[in-house]
Each structure stands twice: as C-alpha cells, then as structure tokens.
Amino acid sequence: MIFEGTYPEILKDGKSLTGKYLSGHYRIEPPAHVRKWKRSIQLEGCRQNNLKNVDVEFPLGVFTVVSGVSGSGKTTLVKQILYPALMKLKGSSPTVWANIAS
Ligand SMILES: Nc1ncnc2c1ncn2[C@@H]1O[C@H](COP(=O)(O)OP(=O)(O)O)[C@@H](O)[C@H]1O
Ligand SMILES: [Mg+2]
C-alpha cells in the first residue's frame, strides 16, 4: 500500500506516483501521429457486469489498446462481449479472422 486517504490528499502527496499524475504534475503525452485506419467494429449498448449501455468502436488493422482504471470493465468488454460477438458472427475459421484483421 503506497497511499491511503482522500482525493485532495493524494493530489498533494509527494510519494504517490498516481497522485502526481492525477494532479497534472506528471503527464503522458499522447502520440503526435496515430496510424490511420478505415475499417472498425462497432459495439452498441454493451451491458455486462458493470458496463451500462456502453457504445464502443474498435479500429481494425492497427494496434489498439483498451485502457482504464481497475474494475472499469475492460476485460468484460473484450472477453465477454467483443470476443463472443466475433465468434458468433464469424465462427472460428482462421481465414475469416485474417480477413477481419486486414
Ligand atoms: N464473472 C463475473 N461475475 C460477476 N462480476 C464480475 C465478473 N467478472 C468481473 N466482474 C465485475 O465486473 C467489474 C468489471 O471487471 P473487469 O471487467 O474485470 O474490469 P477490468 O478488466 O477493467 O479491471 C468489476 O466490478 C468485477 O468485479
Ligand atoms: Mg482486466
């Protein structure tokens, strides 16, 4: 355990790396250029575990990352919604999966 306390307290805590990012003292700049993409997969009204009616678009043919705080539903979204939806739509044929990626 690195820190225990309230939100205003973590913002002022000198030792907490999380606090430094939350206060804006540290920043991670997004890349200046992102690879262009054309095709994507759109999921609408995702509801599972704590996901409540989430709409999301996954670009295809580019490296894509799902990020968010622990427990926000990243694994649920990818493993319980995206993956089963693709399996239902496309089956498990490697050829069809290659077509999705290209
Ligand atoms: N199989 C499950 N049954 C019930 N609740 C679950 C299950 N899997 C995850 N959860 C809950 O759903 C929420 C999102 O979890 P999860 O998708 O693992 O988030 P993340 O991957 O972003 O950390 C959490 O509150 C977690 O406890
Ligand atoms: Mg997870």
DSSP 13-44: -SS-HHHHHHTTSS--PPPS-------EEEEE
- The per-residue pLDDT for range 77-87, each reduced to its tens digit, is 999 999 998 88
* pLDDT average, residue stretch 40-58: 95
* Number of the ligand closest to the Cα of 71: 1
Q: Which atom of ligand 1 is nearest to the CA of 72?
A: 22
Q: Whose CA is nearest to atom 6 of ligand 1?
A: 49
Q: What pTM was estimated for this model as a whole?
A: 0.76
CA dist 80 and 76 (Å) reads 5
SS3 72: coil
Checking if the pLDDT of 102 tops 60, the result is no
Checking if the pLDDT of 2 tops 60, the result is yes
